[in-house]
Structure 1
C-alpha cells in the first residue's frame, strides 16, 4: 500500500492519537491499519538514546521540573569563574571553537589576465566589482557561503567559473589556517546552569526547579566502550532557601524509580569538584532487577548512575547568586545502556558504523533477501510456470525416457506447446535435488530436502524462503519461452543439470546478504543434481 499524503491529512490528529494510545505496541499496528485502510501506517523504531531522553523528559516533568535550554557555547572566562585555580585542568578537556580568518585579497595586475581568461572579458568595471565584493567579504558584510553567488550575480557569469577563478587565481583561500577563539563547547551542564540561574534572578525569585537534557562535549584522550567525546547530560537544579543534600537524595530516588530502579545507596564522591560544597558531592548507586544475572559487568544489579551536590557559595558568588543550589546530573547514554543491557556505548549510539557495532542478521532477515531472479511477465507465462511445477510434482519420479505435457495456448498471437522431458535412459523425470528448498540456517544459505536429517532447519518457518529448486527453474523456463516468442524463434529448451551455485537454478541473493554471509565466513550451499528439461514448440 502506497502512502497517500492527502488521505493522511484527512485523518484527524485527535482520532489518530486516541486510536494509537488505546492499544499496546503488539496489537495497535494491525488494529490501526484495519481502522484506517486508506493510509499506510508504520510505527517507527526509536533510537535507544533519544528514546531514553524522551522518557527522562517525561519523568522530570512529572516531578514538577520546568525544562530549560542552557548555553552550549561557553566563554573560557566562565570556567575560570566557576573553578578558580582548577580551571586550566577543566579547560584541558574542553573543545575550543576556531574559525578561518578572512584573507585580505588583492588583485594585482598579473592576476587580472588570469581572471579574464576564466570569466571572459568583464572589463575594468568587472575587476572593480570583484575588488569591492572581496573587500566587503573581508569586513564581514558578505558571508563566506554567499561570496560565490554574489560575484556570479553581479558579473552575470556562472558560479562554476567563479569557483574556478577563486581556486586558481587566489591562493590566499587555500592557505587559510583555523584560528582559535576563547569560546568552548560546553563540557558539562554546570557551566550553563551558572549562567542561566544568574540571569534568571534578575527577573524572578526562587524557588526554581529546572532540568535540561542536552549535548556536552569532552576532549577525551580516546573513545572506548564506556565514554564518547560527545554525550547527553540529563541535569537538574533546585534553588531554594532550604536546599540540602536530602533534596538530591529525594530527586535521585524519585527520578530513577520511574525507570525500574528499586534500591539506592549514596556514597561521597572522591572527585570533589571545586564548584560543590565539600562533602556534599554524592554518588548515587541504584539497584535494577533487569541487571541481575545479565551478561553485563553489573550482574549483581547495582550500578553507579548519577551524581549530585550543593553548589559552592564561592562559585555562586561569582554570579551574584545568594541562594543555595542543588545540582544532580547523569549521563543519558549510561542509563540507556542499562535499560537496553548494552555493553559498548559506541555500538549502542552508532549501530550503523561497522567499526563499532557487530552486524547481526537473523535467519528470517536473510531468508527475505533470497529471491527468484527471472520470472515470467505474462499471465500465460505464469500459468506455464505453475503447470511445470505441478507436472514435476506428479511425475518427478517417473522413469526415463519420458515426457509430460505442460501447456498449450497462444502468447502474443503465437501458438505454443510445452513439455517437461527427460530423454536419457535409466534416470527419472526430475533429479533428486529438484525439490530442495532454500532456507537460512544459522546464517548459512542452504538448498536442502525437507527430510528428517534437516528437520531442525525447517522448524523455523520465518527462515524458509519458500523457494524450491523446481520453482526457480520453472520460472526461468517460462521466462525463456516468453523471450523466444518475442524474438521469433520456433522452439526453445531450458535445461538444468548439476547445480553448483544459486544463479544456475535462477536464484539470486541480495548483495547485502551476500556481503553479510561472506563477512561472517558463513556458507552458501545451493547445489545438487536437478536434471530437469523443459521444451517448447512455437508456431
Structure 2
C-alpha cells in the first residue's frame, strides 16, 4: 500500500479510499491500525489456488517466459488434427458446447386474441410489429436477451407484460432443447498451444518462450479428492530449432525449485500422448520436505508434479509449424495442495461448500457470536446496570431475606428507585451461578465459574466473552425498567431463578454459531442457579 499518511485526516468520516491513493510511502497494516485506530485496516485473504497461480506467474516471468492467453473454446477438428485416430478417445473426455435453437414462431388468430387480452387490446399494427421482431429474432438479428425489451419498446408496453405474453402464448420457447455444436471446452492446454503457435510464426521467427495459466475442462466420471472437472493448467512452450528434452528438465527444475522442491527425478510417461515424439514424454517427480511424514501417499517426500515432452512433427505439420516445440505442464491445484498442506482438492478449491470441506470455527470466533439480547437504550439505563452489578458484587453472599438499594434517579421524567432483593429465607442475595462467565471452549459455549476447575478454560482471554450471568441479567432488569416507565407502570420486578437455556439469562447466540455447534455435535451449556431479583418503583 502506498500513500502519504499526512493526507489522511483522523476524522472517522474521512474518505479513506480517496486518501489511500494519494501518496507514495509504504505503510504496513499494523502501522496503519496503530496510527489510525478509528479506521479498521485489514488485508484480504487470497484463495490458495489463485495464490499459487500468482506465484507461478512470477516464477515463469523470472525465467524469461512471455505470458500468453490461449483459446479456451476449441473446435473438435483441432483435436482430430492433434491426436489423429485417438481423437475420439480424447473427445470422450471433452465437454461439447450447445445452444438453444431459435424457434420459428407463428401468430395464429387464436394467438392474436390472447396477445390482445394480455397486452390490453393492442391494435393490428402492434401485432404486426411483434411478428416482425420475432422473425428478426429467428434470423439472429435480435439477440435473446434483447427480445423482451425490443418488443416492449416497439409497441410501448411494459417488459413484464411482454414476459407474460411470451410465457402464455408461445410455448415453443419453453420446449426448446439445446443442440450440440462441434465446439468443445479445452480439455488440455495443448489444444490451444497448437492454434496459438501456428499464428505466431506467421508474424515472427523463433526462438519463443511462452507460458499460460488458465482453466481446462475434463468430463470426469466423478469428482473426488484428487480430481475436478475443471482445473488450472500451468503450461509453457519453447519453440527453437535446437530444443531438446534437456530444456524440459531445466525448466522443471528452475520452476519448481522456486517453490521449495529440492531434488528431481525424470521418468518416461507410460501414457505416451500422440502429440509427443515417442520416448520424449517425461514425468517430473520432485522432492519436497513438507511432504515427508505427511498423511498422504507422498509421505516419502516425492510427488509427480509435472509432465513435459517434444511435440510430434506429425502433429506440428498439421499446423504448418516447421520448428520443434517443447511443452511442459503441471496442475496448479496439485501444487497448491502441497503449498497449503491440503489433502482434498475439493475442499482446497471450494472451502465454502459444506459437502466438500469441514466447517471450522475457532473458540475466539465463537466467543464473538455471543451477545446480550436486551440492553437499555438510555444513559440512565446503563447507570442502573452498573449499580445492580456493583450491589451484587459487594453483597451477593449476604444471607436472606435482604434488600439493598442500588440506584435512584430520573428516567424519562419519572422518579425511579431500584433495589436488589431476596425475600425468601435461608438463602442469599444472589445464587451461586450469578458470576458465571460465558466462554467458548473446544467449540462448546459454556457458562463457567472462576475457579480452579475451569482455570484452563479462562486462560484463553480471546475465547472469553466478558459477559457474566449477572451482567446480562442487569441489562434485562434495566431494559424492563425503561419499558415500565414508557408504559406508565408504578412498579416492575425482574427475577431469574434456575437458568436452563441462554434466553432465560438474556443471552443470544447468533444463528451462525447455533448452526455450527449443532452440525458439529457440540453443546451450549449456559445454565445454573442465579436466584436474583431486581425491583423498581416508579413515581
- What TM-score do you get using the length of structure 2 for normalisation? 0.96
Does residue 7 (structure 1) correspond to residue 16 (structure 2)? The answer is yes
Q: Following TM superposition, by how much is the alpha carbon of 1:422 offset from its aligned partner in structure 2, in angstroms? A: 0.5
Distance 2:487 2:506 in 1: 21
Distance 1:2 1:131 in 2: 62
Q: In the alignment, what sits opposite 2:426?
A: 426
Q: Deviations over 1:298-333 (max 9, x none)?
A: 222111100000100110111111111010000111
Q: Deviations over 1:178-224 (max 9, x none)?
A: 00000000000000000000000000001100000000000000000
Q: In the alignment, what sits opposite 1:166?
A: 166
Distance 1:133 1:474 in 2: 70
Does residue 385 (structure 1) correspond to residue 381 (structure 2)? The answer is no
What secondary structure is seen at the aligned counterpart in 2 of 1:432? coil
Q: Following TM superposition, by how much is the alpha carbon of 1:521 offset from its aligned partner in structure 2, in angstroms? A: 1.3
Distance 1:450 1:38 in 2: 33
* Residues 37 and 361 of structure 1: CA distance in aligned 2, closer, same or farther (over 3 Å): closer
Q: Deviations over 1:216-268 (max 9, x none)?
A: 00000000000000011000000011100010111011111111111111111
Q: In the alignment, what sits opposite 2:479?
A: 479
Could you tell me which runs of 5 or more consecutive residues in structure 1 were left unpaired when the two chains were aligned.
20-27
Q: In the alignment, what sits opposite 1:25?
A: none
Q: Mapping of 1:259-298 within 5 angstroms?
A: 259-298=259-298
Q: Following TM superposition, by how much is the alpha carbon of 1:364 offset from its aligned partner in structure 2, in angstroms? A: 1.2
Q: Following TM superposition, by how much is the alpha carbon of 1:41 offset from its aligned partner in structure 2, in angstroms? A: 2.2
Check the 8 A contact 1:216/1:232 in 2, yes or no.
yes
Check the 8 A contact 1:4/1:39 in 2, yes or no.
no
Distance 1:475 1:342 in 2: 46
Q: In the alignment, what sits opposite 1:366?
A: 366
Q: Following TM superposition, by how much is the alpha carbon of 1:39 offset from its aligned partner in structure 2, in angstroms? A: 5.2
Q: In the alignment, what sits opposite 2:7?
A: none
Distance 1:49 1:394 in 2: 57
Q: Following TM superposition, by how much is the alpha carbon of 1:40 offset from its aligned partner in structure 2, in angstroms? A: 4.0
* Residues 189 and 516 of structure 1: CA distance in aligned 2, closer, same or farther (over 3 Å): same
Q: Mapping of 1:240-259 within 5 angstroms?
A: 240-259=240-259
Q: Following TM superposition, by how much is the alpha carbon of 1:295 offset from its aligned partner in structure 2, in angstroms? A: 2.7
What secondary structure is seen at the aligned counterpart in 2 of 1:15? coil
Q: Mapping of 1:11-410 within 5 angstroms?
A: 11-12=20-21, 15=24, 18-19=26-27, 28-35=28-35, 40-410=40-410
Q: Following TM superposition, by how much is the alpha carbon of 1:399 offset from its aligned partner in structure 2, in angstroms? A: 0.5
- What TM-score do you get using the length of structure 1 for normalisation? 0.96
Q: In the alignment, what sits opposite 1:414?
A: 414
Q: Following TM superposition, by how much is the alpha carbon of 1:15 offset from its aligned partner in structure 2, in angstroms? A: 2.4
Aligned residues: 530
Q: Which deviates the most, 291-300 or 323-332?
A: 291-300
What secondary structure is seen at the aligned counterpart in 1 of 2:228? coil
Distance 2:434 2:37 in 1: 41
Check the 8 A contact 1:3/1:40 in 2, yes or no.
no
Q: Following TM superposition, by how much is the alpha carbon of 1:423 offset from its aligned partner in structure 2, in angstroms? A: 0.7
Distance 1:230 1:77 in 2: 22
What secondary structure is seen at the aligned counterpart in 2 of 1:515? helix
Distance 2:323 2:358 in 1: 50
Check the 8 A contact 1:83/1:315 in 2, yes or no.
yes
Could you tell me which runs of 5 or more consecutive residues in structure 2 were left unpaired when the two chains were aligned.
1-9
Q: In the alignment, what sits opposite 2:450?
A: 450
What secondary structure is seen at the aligned counterpart in 1 of 2:24? helix
Check the 8 A contact 1:33/1:40 in 2, yes or no.
yes
Q: Following TM superposition, by how much is the alpha carbon of 1:2 offset from its aligned partner in structure 2, in angstroms? A: 10
Distance 1:152 1:135 in 2: 15
Distance 1:538 1:149 in 2: 65
Check the 8 A contact 1:408/1:418 in 2, yes or no.
yes
Distance 1:252 1:192 in 2: 21
What secondary structure is seen at the aligned counterpart in 2 of 1:59? helix
Distance 2:246 2:12 in 1: 53
Check the 8 A contact 1:296/1:341 in 2, yes or no.
no
Distance 2:475 2:81 in 1: 77
What secondary structure is seen at the aligned counterpart in 2 of 1:93? coil
Q: Following TM superposition, by how much is the alpha carbon of 1:89 offset from its aligned partner in structure 2, in angstroms? A: 0.3
Q: Following TM superposition, by how much is the alpha carbon of 1:440 offset from its aligned partner in structure 2, in angstroms? A: 1.1
Distance 1:15 1:301 in 2: 44
Distance 2:499 2:171 in 1: 63
Distance 1:210 1:433 in 2: 70
